[in-house]
Structure 1
Amino acid sequence: MRSRTVPLPWAAGYGLARTLLALGTLGTLLFSDAATLFREVATVGRYPMCQGVNSAGAFCLVSEDHYDAMRWACCLVLVIAASGWRPRFTAVPHAYVAFSVFTGIAIPDGGDQITWILTLLIVFVALGDPRRWHWQPAPSPEDRPSQGRTRWALLGAGALVVARIQMSVVYFQSCVAKLPHAEWADGSALYYWINNYDFGAPYWLRPTLAFVVDQPVGVAAMTWGPLVLELALAAALLMPQKARWALLPAGVFFHLCIAVVMGLWSFALAMCAGLLLLLTPFGHDPDFARMLRRTTRPSAVPPGEDASAEAAVRIGSRL
């Protein structure tokens, strides 16, 4: 009998990703009224378009007069999900709200789409999560998991693998889709983006960025740098964990820069959540309580090992 261990996926690391996803959607609903979210789109029609599977969305269940009431109800669900309370009970409503926003509003972006995909995958992790709050440490290794929990742990780990592959594909596609365009190939694309009046830099930042993109070296670095980073993130699954840790702050900084320059904050939060799922180990537990207390305690894990090794299920297979 050979046995293998799989880290339990229920830890504060994946909980932080859940919170970021919920906050991104919450910002969209909280700071946009119904008249902004649901409107006529030229050549397409009026949103929400309640046809096919889209008709299952929350905003297709009420009349136009009640869009705002439904919007606030969705905000309540997102606040509870972001708080981390009872992941096994809040994961499905959270995913439903993400689906309703992506399919229902007239101005969805890539962040809304990736949020819906990731929240759906996280459902398979959260349904087996036994904790009261997703900020709590992973279950103790002394708490011998039942056969049912082992199955849930394997299902959750499998869902996180799919989420990792999804994020890798997103970054790969984002990189290669730019390459055929002459502006990205010759290194001048960011000059046009920075000076774009619709999606360009805000007025307070434009003089500084304009100075940078007016220099050949500056505009080339700002154009080709993101391509190199996206390609590295796409290949992260093939890298050792040490390299993934190095890529995490670079990826977060990259998306925060996009948010500041282009105002795409919900997109940035969704992608930062995706980075956590892509680059951190299974069962990663940052132990936020210890960070807040700023105290140290003896670790049961050898130096250099991730805390996720503390909680794992053992799987036996006959040879």
Structure 2
Amino acid sequence: MLTTPTRRTHGIPLPWGNAYGLARTLLALGTAGTLAFSSTATLFRPVVTLGEYPLCKGMASGGAFCLVPRGQFDLLRWLCVAVLLLVASGWRPRITALPHAYISFSVFSGIAIGDGGDQITWILSLLLALVALGDNRRWHWRTPAPRTDDEPTSRATRFRALLGASAWTVARLQMAILYFQAGAAKLPHTEWADGSAMYYWANNSSFGFPEWLRPLTDLVVYSPVGMAALTWLPIALELALAASPVMSQRARWVLLPLGIAFHLGIALLMGLWSFALAMAAGLLLLLSPVGHHFPFLSPDRSRKRQTPSCAPASPGDASPATPEPAAAGLTSLTRLEAPSI
């Protein structure tokens, strides 16, 4: 007699797809770029009213650049770049998780030219470390091992899955709050309300649009309709991204390329490349299902699969063969029984 596996009502998604791996890679590349393409003298210098960076006060004193003499900053900077490139490669996420979070903290707390992207990177890399510590794959690009609903799992595995899924959820809430604050904070200001704010940003001495793009951007900047759209569309997109946790997954997939294009546009026009990479990583966590796996990023996606069958393996076998889930599917559909805590 064939039996049907008991349905588990208290399940959690497995978080170890390559979507979170791609987010880790983007975060690591952003920080590596900051360290590699900025000189030590630029990163660590005096700031008026604050002092010489790194300040090494309070919690910041635990940063890597506070633990070595100033003369060794160059060596430490390149060592951090090497570790970050290893993180970006996806090798052994369980091993590289904490070094990644520590370097992100050291850069955010230690450099004199930090921006919002460095803070976002530190927060997200810390949360993703909780996901990566439970990831026993050799590479974070690999297809997760398929599981069936009736396959027994250890208490440790259930706990690691719960910890990782919870950290991902907190990251999603963090990004939603960030976008809400970014959109809502603009509304009371006259320049954003009347559609002229981007005119002033375009001509800002520090973050203005690059000269080589001026022939193209001036067509928009000096057009009333173009300038209004350039000012109001980002607000609408930011508020939509803030509301994305309550939207359908179909709507989130529409918002993902729009959000990434938005931040790439900011990077191109204002030069904030590390910020763009940090926000793109945040968008992946905000808009992808927990544990999502992109099939086009899997190095082993061409591996042969067994043909699903519901027939018994042999005439004397009383149990049906269990279909193997396609590796290209969402790992968020694979559930684990939640531990009782």
TM-score by length of 1: 0.93
CA distance in structure 2 between the partners assigned to 1:199 and 1:180 by the alignment = 22
Tell me the number of residue pairs that the alignment of Structure 1 and Structure 2 aligns: 315
In structure 2, how many angstroms separate the alpha carbons of the residues matched to 1:71 and 1:65?
A: 11
Alignment CA distance shift 1:231-1:289 (3 Å): closer
1:45 corresponds to: 51
Partner of 1:312: 335
Are 2:124 and 1:118 aligned?
yes
Any stretches of 5+ residues in structure 2 without a counterpart?
A: 1-6, 309-323
Alignment partner of 1:148 is 2:164:
no
Q: Contact conserved, 1:124 with 1:155, CA < 8 A, in 2?
A: yes
- 2:267–2:276 contact (8 Å) kept in structure 1: yes
The letter for the 2-side match of 1:245 is W
Tell me, yes or no, if the aligned pair for 2:142 and 2:299 is still in contact at 8 Å: no
**What are the ranges of 5 or more consecutive residues in structure 1 without an aligned counterpart?**
none
CA distance in 1, matches of 2:106, 2:81: 12
1:243-295 Cα deviation digits (max 9, x unpaired): 00000000000000000000000000000000000000011011235689889
Contact 2:14–2:335 (CA under 8 A) maintained in structure 1? yes
> Residue 288 of structure 2 corresponds to which residue in structure 1?
280
Q: Which amino acid aligns with 2:106?
A: S
Aligned to 1:171: 179
SS of the equivalent of 2:185 reads helix
Partner of 1:230 in structure 2?
Answer: 238
Paired residues for 1:192-203 under 5 Å: 192-203=200-211
RMSD: 2.2
**CA offsets per residue over residues 38-65 of structure 1, 9 Å max, x none?**
0011111110000111000000001111
1:263 to 268, 271, 277: 271
Partner letter of residue 170 of structure 1? Answer: L
Counterparts of 1:309 and 1:91 in 2: how far apart (Å)? 21
> What is the distance in 1 between the residues matched to 2:11 and 2:301?
31
Whether 1:160 and 2:168 are equivalent positions in the alignment is: yes
CA distance in 2, matches of 1:126, 1:83: 14
Contact residue 81 and residue 94 of structure 1 kept, 8 A: yes
SS of corresponding position for 2:289: coil
Cα distance in 2, alignment partners of residues 86 and 290 from structure 1:
15
Letter in 2 for 1:7: P
Match of 1:220?
228
Q: State the secondary structure of the residue aligned to 2:10.
A: strand
- Mean alpha-carbon deviation: is it higher for 175-184 or for 162-171? 175-184
Q: Which residue of 1 aligns with 2:80?
A: 74
> Secondary structure of the residue that 1:313 maps to in structure 2?
strand
CA contact (8 A) 1:20 1:82 kept: yes
d(CA) in 1 for partners of 2:121, 2:303 = 35
The verdict on how the C-alpha distance between 1:222 and 1:295 changes in structure 2, with shifts beyond 3 A counting, is farther
Shift of 1:308: 2.1
Matched, 1:186 2:209: no
- 1:243 is the counterpart of 2:245: no
Which structure: greater helix fraction?
1
Q: Distance in 2 between matches of 1:126 and 1:161?
A: 14
> 1:51-130 counterparts in 2 under 5 A?
51-130=57-136
Relative distance call for 1:94 and 1:270 in structure 2 (3 A) is: same
The whole-number CA distance in structure 2 between the counterparts of 1:94 and 1:267 is 17
Deviations 1:56-109 (A, max 9, x none): 000000111111111011111101111111111100000000000000000000
Query: C-alpha separation between the residues in 2 aligned to 1:309 and 1:51?
Result: 42
Q: Determine if contact 2:27/2:121 at 8 Å carries over to the other structure.
A: yes
CA contact (8 A) 2:18 2:297 kept: no
Is the 8 Å Cα contact of residues 108 and 122 (structure 2) preserved in structure 1?
Answer: yes
Change (3 A) 1:291 1:136: closer
C-alpha displacement of 1:176: 1.2
Query: Structure 2 CA distance, aligned partners of 1:216 and 1:306?
Result: 46
Structure 1 moving runs of 4+ over 4 Å: 289-302
The answer to whether the Cα contact below 8 Å between 2:93 and 2:140 also exists between their aligned partners in 1 is yes
Q: Which of 31, 39, 50 is equivalent to 2:37?
A: 31
